[in-house]
Structure 1
Amino acid sequence: MDPPLTENKENVENGGGEDKKSEKDAKSPAGSRAGSAKSQRSQKSNGSQKGRIPSPIRSAKDNPAADMRNMRRIIAEDPEWSLATVPMLWELCIKHIVGNFEYNSKILDKLLPKHKTKVLEKISTDLPLKVTSNLVEDEGYWKRCCKARWAICDVSAYGNNWKRMYFERNLQDIIEHFVPENTDPEELDSTLPLSANFVKKLDIRQLLPPVKEAPKGFDDDVSDAGSEAGDGPETDHFDFGPVLQKLPLLEEFRVTYGVRDCGMNFDWNLFQFTARDCLLLSKCIAACKTLKVLCLHRSKVDDDRVRVLISHILDHPSLEELDLSHNIIGDRGARAVGKFINNHSQLKILNLCDNQIRAAGAQAIAHALTKNTTLHSLNLRLNRLGDEGGQAVCRSLMKNSTLKEINLSTNDMTEPTAAVLAQVVIQNTTIKSLDLSCNKLGADGGKQLQEGMEENNTITHMDLRFTQCGQESEFIINQILAKSQDRERESKEKNMNEVNSKK
């Protein structure tokens, strides 16, 4: 029912005021003219509104909303209250599955794809591996796990596979912080079966020795002297045998026997590669038939240790790369390596950088190169070959037809070696990269190399920095290398076009 029609007092008062104002204006000359115009307009409007019923005026008392002072304010007692609707049932179910995933993990395979994606986006990265290892294949989840645990994550070093990266680095952390005779092996034993199907590379950057208390009454001065000389008791490190035999897909193994960030606790005994360490490592490498890359560097490997290692890996069926750089291998160890590459391996890459190999060891390696048919890359940088050893290696290259890269930098080689190299670049047609930097070849040696390179069409890279071979010779050699690079690039483009045309 409509409210009763009443007369608005305010309208009446306003109307009266307007009448008084019009009377005042009418008395003035300007007001008379304005009044006449206004009266004409009012007559027209009154004429047009004849026959209309005036609109009812509601009382302010009957409409409380008209006065803001009469409105009641409602304040929610729950500060988190909102107008959001009640969650959908499937959302509540997903929330429950995520919160109890450790106990309801088997339900994951029964979910619809869109619901499964929601669950994998929300489950915790701290779930036990026994729950997620064989169940979760989603790369997004393992990416979250990696970034939550490590600040730097270069997945390209792990075949662009986040799951593989997580399992390899997780196993690496466990081994690197394992203290023999102190650490409980339960964590390692439980992790190995879960990681077996995902670990292809193991990069161990440190190995902790067992913690042994100093004998009572041991003098600090004697302790310091023994530490500086490295004459303290030998401390054996982690045994890789039980680990490698449980990793059937392992292809690359890198290890350093030493301690990182030891600071003021430095001791030479922390960096010992003991005889027992060598024997245990050699046996497990020989038993790992899938291994393709072995890197044992910065571990103070000497002649005796490398001879033991080589004796165990002779005729290894799959080893293609051996890195023994930054050790203390001498001529006796080089002879063992020479025997290894003398048709007793499938080795393609050999790195002996930064060792103590002299002329006798170089001659043993050179003899093996004359018979080797698999090696593609040889690195002898930072050794002590001299001219005698350098010439022996260079002469072997005249008979070798598989080596493509060789690094002889920083080996005290001079002009006599450059003369032999000049003959090598004329006869050898397989070498593409030759590093001779930091050897005093001299101007005459540079001139001979220049004459040899003028008849070579295959070498695309030759490093002659700090060889004192003369600017003119170096400039001409670089021009020859540039032409060879252009020919190689054109050849590759031609081959690619032929392959694409066949497709």
Structure 2
Amino acid sequence: MEISERETKNPAADPRKMRRIIAEDPEWNLETVPPLVDSCIQHIIKHFHERPLLEELPEKYQRKVLEKLPTTLPLNISAGLIADEGYWERCCRSRWALCDVSSYDKNWRRMFFERHAAELVEHFVPEKSDKKEFEEKLKLCSEFVQRLQVKQLLPRPQGELLAPADEGDAGSDDLAHALANDHLDCGVLLKTLHNMKELSLMFGVENCGMNFEWGLFQFTVTDCKNLVNGLKATPTLHTLKVTSSKMGEEEGRVLVKGLLEHPGLAVLDLSHNKLKSRTGRALGKLLGMPACRLETLVLTNNEIGPDGGKSLGHSLKTNSTLLHLDLRLNRLSDEGVQPILKSLTTNSSLVSLNVGSNDFTEASAPALAEVLQTNGTLKELNISCNKLGESGGRFLQEGMEENSTLTVFDLRLSEIAQESEYVINKTVKDNLDRDRKIAT
């Protein structure tokens, strides 16, 4: 049988030489024996958990190994050995559906370990979880965690209550209840994660459903003391947030006392707790200390009250570090807000102040007008949801005629006349436009 010229030029046209079975393996090739290099790489990948071999390989082979390594490797192997961002990106995407790496300075490894550490903390149950195993896992994250955001801290199981010696012994029963509400020792947490710069905690339980009890949402004195001990061992901490945790007056005072000598804390957020006036006085003492480094203080939705407002106002006269102060929803009234406003006539550091929803009236309007006329640093002011009335609005209008710094002024629901509100907002807009021109 003669072979045509076309078949001679193209051997694949000969049906006798064509492969009739197509392999399903996408990596299949014509070579019957794979290169020795590929076999070695496959062997390294398969036995990586037994003998992690990476740095000894040439760079081009390191890349091939990293591309094929499973994301389920034990962290005691991968944490310190693998720095490749591509590998940690695969680990993140295989574990979580939403991965916004921009919130972690675009560092995939940091993102993985910060979220992994947060999950360890959120699922730790006192007296039930293995504490030694927990600490060992947490140590693997210590070099990479800079910010920890904990959305729940589980209390000791209610079934673990200590039985009182006598049913009529109320003191023993109170002790058992207090012990039942304690959480993970935050001192251990901070001492282990020694590179932490920002810590955000909520002492509560997410999605508790029909098992809801107020005891699940309680920041106890023991929790507070443990946290203070940890803060002493973490001088790198820049931001501390303990929010929505039913922190009471006693716990707040203990916490603030523990912060008096902290060398680096710049942001303190204690919003949505139950701090009251004595904690306000403690915070005033903190702000009045020469060694204070606080730049932002957020106390939204507490019960600081008039006495707490007086203490904060007194300390603001001499404080030169605080830039942002949020006192919204604190029942300051005229008696508490006026000392704060009067202190701003001499304060030269505060940039933003929020005293919205504090039940003060037109009696505080002259003090507000004086702030607008004399203060040269305040750029943002929120006095919304207070009862200033028409006469209060006129005071504000007069004050804004001499103001050249305010670029944000929230007057919503302050009951001032529309004419005054229009003039004030126009002045604020002119200030903002001028600042934008200067910036460009």
TM beyond 0.5: yes
What is the Cα deviation at residue 78 of structure 1? 8.2
1:148 matched to which residue of 2?
94
What is the Cα deviation at residue 417 of structure 1? 1.4
Q: Does the residue aligned with 1:406 lie in a helix, a strand or coil?
A: strand
1:354 matched to which residue of 2?
301
Distance 2:246 2:187 in 1: 21
> 1:77-476 alignment to 2 at 5 Å?
80=24, 84-86=30-32, 87-106=34-53, 108-213=54-159, 233-234=177-178, 235=180, 236-343=182-289, 344-476=291-423
Specify whether residues 414 and 111 from structure 1 end up closer, same or farther in structure 2 by C-alpha distance, changes over 3 A only.
same
Q: Does the residue aligned with 1:434 lie in a helix, a strand or coil?
A: strand
Letter in 2 for 1:120: L
Q: Does the residue aligned with 2:434 lie in a helix, a strand or coil?
A: helix
8 Å CA contact 2:353, 2:380 repeated in 1: yes
Distance 2:270 2:161 in 1: 36
Specify whether residues 305 and 148 from structure 1 end up closer, same or farther in structure 2 by C-alpha distance, changes over 3 A only.
same
8 Å CA contact 1:232, 1:269 repeated in 2: no
Distance 1:114 1:164 in 2: 25
Letter in 2 for 1:397: L
Letter in 1 for 2:411: L
Q: Does the residue aligned with 2:409 lie in a helix, a strand or coil?
A: strand
8 Å CA contact 1:252, 1:291 repeated in 2: yes
Q: Does the residue aligned with 1:362 lie in a helix, a strand or coil?
A: helix
Letter in 1 for 2:311: A
8 Å CA contact 2:328, 2:358 repeated in 1: yes
Q: Does the residue aligned with 2:237 lie in a helix, a strand or coil?
A: coil
Letter in 2 for 1:320: A
Deviation sequence 1:312-370 (CA, Å, 0-9, x none): 22121111111110001111111011111112521110011000121111001100111
Distance 2:388 2:204 in 1: 38
Specify whether residues 165 and 73 from structure 1 end up closer, same or farther in structure 2 by C-alpha distance, changes over 3 A only.
closer
What is the Cα deviation at residue 134 of structure 1? 1.2
Letter in 1 for 2:58: L
Specify whether residues 142 and 79 from structure 1 end up closer, same or farther in structure 2 by C-alpha distance, changes over 3 A only.
closer
Deviation sequence 1:282-317 (CA, Å, 0-9, x none): 121123211111111111111111111112221211
Distance 1:79 1:483 in 2: 73
What is the Cα deviation at residue 88 of structure 1? 3.6
Specify whether residues 256 and 492 from structure 1 end up closer, same or farther in structure 2 by C-alpha distance, changes over 3 A only.
same
Distance 1:254 1:137 in 2: 27
Distance 1:85 1:279 in 2: 68
What is the Cα deviation at residue 103 of structure 1? 2.4
Bigger mean CA offset, 191-200 vs 399-408 = 191-200
Distance 1:362 1:445 in 2: 21
8 Å CA contact 2:220, 2:247 repeated in 1: no
Deviation sequence 1:432-488 (CA, Å, 0-9, x none): 000111112112211211111111111111011111212222122121111111221
Letter in 1 for 2:143: N
Specify whether residues 214 and 77 from structure 1 end up closer, same or farther in structure 2 by C-alpha distance, changes over 3 A only.
same
Bigger mean CA offset, 352-361 vs 96-105 = 96-105
8 Å CA contact 1:323, 1:350 repeated in 2: yes
Q: Does the residue aligned with 2:192 lie in a helix, a strand or coil?
A: coil
1:57 matched to which residue of 2?
none
8 Å CA contact 1:390, 1:413 repeated in 2: yes
Specify whether residues 253 and 95 from structure 1 end up closer, same or farther in structure 2 by C-alpha distance, changes over 3 A only.
same
C-alpha RMSD over aligned residues: 2.6
Distance 2:366 2:176 in 1: 49
8 Å CA contact 1:404, 1:431 repeated in 2: yes
Deviation sequence 1:2-42 (CA, Å, 0-9, x none): 9xxxxxxxxxxxxxxxxxxxxxxxxxxxxxxxxxxxxxxxx
Question: Under a length normalisation based on structure 2, what TM-score does the superposition of the two structures give?
Answer: 0.88
Specify whether residues 263 and 245 from structure 1 end up closer, same or farther in structure 2 by C-alpha distance, changes over 3 A only.
same
What is the Cα deviation at residue 399 of structure 1? 1.4
Letter in 2 for 1:188: F
Distance 1:74 1:297 in 2: 71
Bigger mean CA offset, 88-97 vs 281-290 = 88-97
What is the Cα deviation at residue 217 of structure 1? 12
> Which of 1 and 2 has higher RCO (CA within 8 Å, sep 6+)?
2
Q: Does the residue aligned with 1:429 lie in a helix, a strand or coil?
A: coil
Deviation sequence 1:195-222 (CA, Å, 0-9, x none): 221111111111111224288999xxxx
Letter in 1 for 2:262: H
Distance 2:211 2:296 in 1: 37
What is the Cα deviation at residue 247 of structure 1? 2.3
Bigger mean CA offset, 153-162 vs 252-261 = 153-162
8 Å CA contact 1:425, 1:453 repeated in 2: yes
Which of 465, 477, 488 is the aligned partner of 2:424? Answer: 477
Letter in 1 for 2:432: Q
Distance 1:83 1:373 in 2: 72
